[in-house]
Structure 1
Amino acid sequence: MIQSHAEYRTITTHGYPLPTSPHEPGPAPQLQWIEINQLVVDPSYQRDIGKKGRLNVNRIVEGFEWSKFAPVVVAPLEGGLFAIVDGQHRTTAALLRGIEKVLCQIVYVDRAKQAEAYAAVNGNVTKTTPQQLFHAKLAARDKAALAVAEICAAGGVEIIRGNFSSQNPKPGRTQAIGAITRCFDRYGRDTVITALQCITQTGDGNPGQVRATIIEALCDVLHSMPIWRDAGEALLRALDDFDFADMWESIISGRNFVLSPAVQDLIAERIRHHLSLKLSDENKEAA
Structure 2
Amino acid sequence: MPLSAVKEKLAGAALASKTKAEQASTDLGPSPRLEWLPLERLSVDRRYQREMGKDNWAHVHRILREWNWLHYQPIVVAPKEGGEGYVVVDGQHRLEAAKKHPLIDRLPCYVVDAVDVAQQARAFVALNARRIGVTRLQRFWAAYAAGEPTAKRIHRICSEAGVTITKSGGVLPPKTTFATFTIEKLLKVGGTHVTTALKILARTHGDKPDVFKSAWIYALTQLVATKDIGCARVSHTMTGLDLDQVAAAARSARAKEGGTMEKAVLAELRRRCEAALRRAA
- Taking structure 2 as the reference length, the TM-score comes to 0.80
| 1:146 has 2:152 as partner | yes
5 Å-filtered alignment, 1:1-287, equals 17-19=21-23, 23-77=26-80, 78-98=82-102, 99-109=104-114, 110-165=116-171, 169-185=172-188, 187-225=189-227, 228-229=230-231, 236=235, 239-252=238-251, 259=261, 261-274=263-276, 276=277
Deviations 1:242-276 (A, max 9, x none): 343443345447977872633432233224444x3
The superposition leaves residues 207-249 of structure 1 with CA deviations (integer Å, 9 ceiling, x where unpaired) of 32212112111122122227724x5xx8646643334344334
Aligned length: 257
Q: Is the 8 A contact 1:206 1:244 kept in 2?
A: no
RMSD: 2.8
Q: Distance in 2 between matches of 1:90 and 1:245?
A: 47
Whether the aligned pair in 1 keeps the contact of 2:173 and 2:209 (CA below 8 Å) is: yes
- SS state of the match for residue 125, structure 2? helix
Residue 62 to residue 226, structure 1, CA distance change in 2 (3 Å): farther
Equivalent position SS for 1:136: helix
- Runs of 5+ consecutive residues of structure 2 not aligned to the other structure: 1-17
Measured against aligned partners, the alpha-carbon deviations of 1:166-185 in whole angstroms (never above 9, x if no partner) come to: xxx42221222222111113
CA distance in 2, matches of 1:220, 1:250: 19
Taking the aligned partners of 1:179 and 1:86, their CA distance within structure 2 comes to 32
Q: 1:63 & 1:50 partners in 2: Cα distance?
A: 20
> Quick one: percent identity of the two aligned structures?
29
CA distance in 1, matches of 2:198, 2:270: 14
Instruction: Provide the rounded CA distance (Å) in 1 between the counterparts of 2:126 and 2:205.
Output: 50
Q: Give the letter aligned to residue 128 of structure 1.
A: V
- Pair 134,226 (structure 1): closer, same or farther in 2 beyond 3 Å: farther
Contact in 2 for aligned 1:39/1:81 (Cα 8 Å)? yes
TM-score if structure 1 supplies the norm length? Answer: 0.79
Q: Is the 8 A contact 2:166 2:178 kept in 1?
A: yes
In the TM superposition, residue 116 of structure 1 has moved relative to its aligned partner by 0.5
Letter in 2 for 1:156: G
The runs of 5 or more residues in structure 1 that have no matched partner are: 1-14, 282-287
Q: How far apart in 1 are the matches of 2:162 and 2:108?
A: 45
SS in 1 for 2:50: coil
Structure 1, 217-226 or 249-258: larger mean CA deviation: 249-258
Instruction: Give 1:161 shift.
Output: 2.6
Structure 2: how far apart are the matches of 1:204 and 1:162? 19
Alpha-carbon distance between aligned partners in 2 of 1:270 and 1:41, rounded to the nearest angstrom = 58
Question: What CA deviation, in whole Å up to 9, does each residue of 1:120-173 have, x standing for no partner?
Answer: 1112111221111111111111121111111121222222232221xxx42221
Deviations 1:68-93 (A, max 9, x none): 11101001125431100011101222
